[in-house]
Chains A and B, each alone.
Chain A
Amino acid sequence: MSKFQFPESIKSRPVYGTLEPRVGKFHLMIADAEGAEAILELAAQDSALMAKSHIIFIPNGTDYGDQLKALNPAQYYEGPSYAASVQRIRHVLANAHQGLQVYLTGTEGLMGQAQNEAMQAGIPHTFIQTEHRGSVARRMQCVHCKGITEDVMTDPFVCSHCGLNLFVRDHYSRRLAAYQGVCIDAEDPGNVPEPVELYK
């Protein structure tokens, strides 16, 4: 199942929509893993879209690459990781023409980071669409050491930088593209509940 309905939450938590083809001369699509499916559906809705599109895809172990390439986008790039792709994303955004339409799809971490880049490049938020697909993992910032732990699937989890046991908050920072993780056993050291899978 690649589509997941997130439960209603607090006001800092992002909400995602469904990508739809927009009118425009240039289209930038950034996706990871199952986000590819959203792009395939997008292409199916508008046969003229791909000729004006630049796709940046991070497979994360999936094999959608050939299907995306077969859409014949104007430009296609496959990156081994978001970190490896971010310089390219920045460059494309910095050199974007007025009216560039941005489509972000896949995991929250991918969308959050790419959205941040787009906003910093001055793309108005009304030109940015998002659609969640695939893993519900979260990108978490440890409020104590400030380190980011990617792909967190359980609550609580261990900070990959400082090793504290952190609980997963819904409070979200767009600037950091991360949720907040806070020490769970500060008031009762060592009493760390069994990790539970998110949304289970």
Chain B
Amino acid sequence: MTIQFNDETFRDDYSFHNSDWAIKRFPFPFHEDSYMYAVNMEQHRGGPEGSVYEKRFDVDEHYVAEMRDRAMVLADDPLRCQSLPHMTLAGWDLLELIMVSKSEDYPDLFELHHDADQWRWVNKPLGIDDTFTFLDETTLPYGPMEYITRQTQGDFCVLDQREENLWMDAGMVTTQADWSLDFDLGMNFFEWHAPVPLAHEMGIFKRALKFLLNIQQGAPARRMNWTMTVNPLLDTSPENYHKWGIQKTTLTPENIGSKQHLRVELQTFFRLPRSNALVFPIRCYLCSFQDLMTMPKWGRRLHRVVRDLPVELATYKGFIDNRPMMLDYLSQFDDGLPTSPGVFPEPETEPPLNKAG
């Protein structure tokens, strides 16, 4: 299918919106009626047709607008994209992975032509047609990682692997759930995860790291993470928290349905061939509560998950103060009926909401 790209914003007037198609394929992260941290990793080998899991790098209706937003963030703060000197080769690996994947998965949108080490890259949605020499930085307008991630939705951490650990030595981070690349640059897996509550004690990070160190080329993996964001703001950075934090206090019972968004990260892991680095794309999907509530299963389930989430997690995710108002809203969409297992909304088979008022 051809994608109609939205003309929309993730700031100021927040004209971001999801089409019916985007709502239906929204990666709802809860496969059951409760949530706790776990080593929730699986192979990234496609998924149902049309789902966000189908392609290696999902492209959707927000692509062009997200890339515009990223360019604005970078103009304001170039430190959102950094690469330590030894990471340039990994940047080329990443550029190749994305160009090959996108041109194969979306041939009507992206083209890659090789003539020995002369590469021609055509990105139709963004109107780019560039020719460059592979592995020669002087032939690109930016470093290879920055060049390709200015054209790819989601944040990217590029991790060097050494000393049985992963090191955050490069990244493009403009749509993050409140963490700073500039601060975390150079840290190892345990250090950058230090602020996360409970998971260290549960042994989750030790097991997760072991899994990641063994990821092989051609066998990518994926997991989900989620949080809450008031207004469809992609750049919830600590850098700008003194500007956007106040928006959390603008929720009212009247506007919560349209203002409060579930923010879901589809996180994938790919081994890179030349550098042996690991790349960690973090793709952010936003959906307003009122759009989620169009799926009866998601309405019932989201209410139960938010209600029963441990205080530590609601605090860490930054919505503890707004939780009571969220629950007032969400409880209207929970009639107590059971939900079917799995993340998909099942609109054809799930019973409609059976609640008066």
Is B242 touching A183 in the complex (CB atoms < 8 A)?
Answer: yes
Is A11 touching B190 in the complex (CB atoms < 8 A)?
Answer: yes
Question: Complex: how many Å from CA A143 to CA B242?
Answer: 10
Q: Indicate whether A3 reaches chain B with its CB closer than 8 angstroms.
A: no
Given A12-B191, A13-B194, A171-B194: A180 and B183 interface contact (C-beta under 8 Å): yes
Is B245 touching A186 in the complex (CB atoms < 8 A)?
Answer: yes
Is B183 touching A171 in the complex (CB atoms < 8 A)?
Answer: yes
Q: Indicate whether A28 reaches chain B with its CB closer than 8 angstroms.
A: no
> Chain B nearest CB: distance from A12 CB in Å?
4
Q: Indicate whether B246 reaches chain A with its CB closer than 8 angstroms.
A: yes
Given A182-B238, A186-B246: A12 and B180 interface contact (C-beta under 8 Å): no
> Chain A nearest CB: distance from B193 CB in Å?
7
Q: Which residue of B lies closest to A165 (CB)?
A: B242
Q: Which residues on A sit within 8 Å (CB–CB) of B245?
A: 183, 186-187
- Contact with B187, one of A12, A169, A170 (Cβ below 8 angstroms): A12
Given A12-B191, A12-B194: A187 and B249 interface contact (C-beta under 8 Å): yes
Is B242 touching A144 in the complex (CB atoms < 8 A)?
Answer: yes
> Chain B nearest CB: distance from A40 CB in Å?
33
Q: Indicate whether B273 reaches chain A with its CB closer than 8 angstroms.
A: no
Q: Which residues on B sit within 8 Å (CB–CB) of A180?
A: 180, 183, 238
Total A-B residue pairs with C-beta atoms closer than 8 Å?
66
> Chain A nearest CB: distance from B316 CB in Å?
12
Q: Which residues on A sit within 8 Å (CB–CB) of B56?
A: none
Is A187 touching B183 in the complex (CB atoms < 8 A)?
Answer: no
Q: Indicate whether A88 reaches chain B with its CB closer than 8 angstroms.
A: no
Is A183 touching B241 in the complex (CB atoms < 8 A)?
Answer: yes
Is A143 touching B192 in the complex (CB atoms < 8 A)?
Answer: no
> Chain A nearest CB: distance from B163 CB in Å?
10
Q: Which residues on A sit within 8 Å (CB–CB) of B248?
A: 187
Question: Complex: how many Å from CA A175 to CA B187?
Answer: 8
Q: Which residues on A sit within 8 Å (CB–CB) of B191?
A: 11-12, 174
Which of B190, B194, B200 counts the most chain A CB atoms within 10 A? B194
> Chain B nearest CB: distance from A120 CB in Å?
11
Is A175 touching B186 in the complex (CB atoms < 8 A)?
Answer: yes
Q: Indicate whether B195 reaches chain A with its CB closer than 8 angstroms.
A: yes
Question: Complex: how many Å from CA A189 to CA B247?
Answer: 12
Q: Which residues on A sit within 8 Å (CB–CB) of B73?
A: none
5 closest A-B pairs (Cβ-Cβ)? A186-B245, A12-B194, A175-B186, A183-B242, A10-B194
Q: Which residues of B contact A (CB under 8 A)?
A: 79, 180, 182-187, 190-195, 200, 238-246, 248-249, 321
